[in-house]
């Protein structure tokens, strides 16, 4: 049995708390490792290590820090397959999807190569008589990230890449469900030239989270996870005087207008709804066709494609569409929500509850499910299911369709499929959602824009990556200077005396 510890001070270290959590192979249901759960004392030791390393790193000029990011990108490309395989083995997602997980994090590291540009301040000459004013961006010090299981490579890099490029030291508390890749990333950062202690990885559970929230030396915290935990972290972190950004749950809608290219809309829904077994905060979980005729055409085309989805372990080949869920508890939760949908009166037109894969009967698989006639009063509509379940909520007209995402508590992502530019423009302008796709089902912004939801999907003033990543992990200092007249008024040739 492999024991997974922490990465502190530039090396892997064993846990000392005596507490462990099981790490499963989701495809087989077997325990493949144990991960150490840090105590408050272990977390504090990591913080002290980071605090000691950070001043010298902050004093390193931004161009040299950017070169570390440049080398890190090179190493990520070198080890892409190795990282993806480790990720698939613990998370369960397909190998191509795991590579995409790494790639989207790599792209943020690429953006952070531009750290010198992002760290530039402003200057005003002659703001007053002999007075100049300028601003400088400075790192916060020691900062932290608490990241989820569903993107164990991408989201940690969204957090630590801009933070480290800006001159901070970083404490990463990843999910204990798939802890291997974050440790591998820390080793690559060290190989890329980051000093020991600038990226520490501490595995743990709520005890480690609370230690981060209460630690006096941690200046800022970034979090991605469920809304309930996001509210807890945001409230406790802010009350302790920290800068906090939290991103929570989602219920992403895709509106299909009567004029949409139905084949493209269906293909988009299949990929966005069932990719990664639906374990994505940007997964489309609600299809909203406008008009009964549109709805009938949509469901007619969806059914055979959903039924034909190939499910299996990542080792079954690159043509597998999605794999198992991450844990047995996740599997049971999704199946119970499907049962609840039937009880509420939704029509289950594709039933994947009985899916079993030969040789993998103990794996955490759930077959693809498709509901029709889902209404906004149902629990399966309100709840983020986080599984391979797509709901069709029919809307009689455009305004009714618009109201569904507008009135939902979550506001992460939304999409509209249409050929009508006026409808798309009106939709993008009016919708109260943070990320909008027009004929794009998963509107995750590229690395030089920022990622963030509205309403109960996001807490805090700044988003992830892009310019906001550097704004969040730095603070602005403004200097007003005036110099008295000096040597420019002329030289004196007499010996200096007291005057």
Contacts 24+ apart (CB under 8 A), 189-194: 189/68, 189/72, 189/160, 189/164, 190/10, 191/71, 191/75, 192/68, 192/69, 192/71, 192/72, 192/74, 192/75, 193/67, 193/68, 193/71, 194/57, 194/68, 194/72, 194/164
Token output for 438: 């027009």
Strands 389-392 and 284-289: parallel
Cross-strand partners of 224: 247
Closest CA to 192 of 21, 53, 69, 38: 69
What one-character DSSP code corresponds to residue 442? S
75's CB contacts (< 8 A; 6+ apart) are 188, 191, 192
Q: How far apart, in whole angstroms, are the C-alpha atoms of residue 132 and residue 495? A: 33
498's CB contacts (< 8 A; 6+ apart) are none
Whose tokens are 């959590």? That residue is: 21
Alpha helices in 283-397 (DSSP H): 292-307, 328-344, 379-382
Dihedral of alpha carbons 164, 166, 168, 171, sign: negative
* Catalytic residue numbers, as ranges: 281
């Amino acid at each position: 049995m492999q024991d997974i510890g922490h990465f502190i001070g530039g090396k892997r270290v064993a846990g000392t708390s005596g507490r462990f959590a099981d790490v499963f192979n989701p495809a087989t249901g077997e325990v493949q490792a144990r991960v150490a759960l840090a105590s408050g004392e272990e977390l504090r030791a990591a913080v002290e290590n980071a605090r000691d390393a950070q001043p010298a790193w902050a004093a390193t000029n931004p161009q040299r820090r950017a070169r570390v990011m440049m080398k890190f990108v090179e190493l990520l490309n070198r080890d892409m397959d190795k990282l993806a395989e480790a990720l698939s083995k613990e998370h369960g997602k397909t190998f191509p999807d795991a590579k995409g997980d790494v790639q989207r994090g790599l792209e943020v590291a690429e953006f952070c190569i531009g750290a010198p540009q992002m760290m530039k301040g402003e200057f005003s000459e002659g703001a007053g008589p002999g007075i100049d004013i300028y601003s400088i961006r400075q790192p916060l010090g020691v900062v932290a990230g608490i990241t989820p299981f569903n993107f164990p490579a991408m989201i940690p890099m969204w957090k630590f890449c801009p933070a480290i490029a800006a001159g901070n030291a970083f404490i990463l508390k990843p999910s204990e469900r798939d802890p291997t890749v974050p440790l591998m990333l820390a080793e690559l950062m060290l190989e890329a030239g980051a000093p020991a202690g600038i990226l520490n990885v501490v595995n743990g559970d709520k005890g480690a989270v609370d230690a981060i929230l209460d630690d006096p030396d941690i200046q800022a915290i970034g979090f991605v996870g469920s809304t309930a935990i996001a509210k807890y972290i945001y409230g406790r972190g802010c009350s302790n005087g920290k800068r906090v950004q939290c991103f929570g749950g989602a219920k992403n809608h895709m509106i299909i207008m009567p004029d949409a290219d139905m084949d493209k809309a269906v293909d988009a829904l299949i990929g966005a709804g069932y990719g990664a077994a639906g374990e994505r905060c940007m997964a489309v979980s609600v299809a909203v066709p406008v008009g009964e005729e549109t709805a009938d055409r949509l469901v007619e085309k969806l059914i055979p494609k959903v039924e034909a989805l190939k499910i299996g372990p990542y080792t079954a080949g690159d043509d597998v569409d999605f794999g198992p869920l991450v844990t047995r508890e996740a599997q049971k939760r999704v199946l119970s929500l499907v049962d609840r949908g039937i009880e509420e009166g939704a029509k289950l037109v594709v039933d994947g509850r009985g899916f079993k894969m030969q040789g993998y009967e103990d794996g955490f698989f759930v077959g693809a499910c498709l509901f029709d006639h889902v209404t906004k009063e149902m629990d399966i509509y309100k709840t983020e299911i986080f599984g391979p379940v797509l709901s069709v909520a029919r809307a009689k007209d455009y305004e009714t369709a618009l109201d569904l995402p507008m009135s939902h508590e979550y506001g992460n992502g939304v999409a509209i499929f249409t050929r009508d530019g006026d409808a798309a423009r009106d939709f993008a302008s009016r919708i109260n959602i943070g990320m909008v796709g027009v004929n794009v089902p998963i509107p995750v912004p590229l690395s030089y824009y920022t990622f963030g939801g509205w309403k109960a999907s996001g807490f805090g003033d700044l988003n992830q990556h892009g310019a906001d990543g550097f704004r969040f992990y730095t603070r602005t200092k403004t200097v007003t200077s005036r110099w008295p007249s000096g040597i420019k008024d002329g030289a004196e040739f007499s010996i200096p005396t007291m005057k």
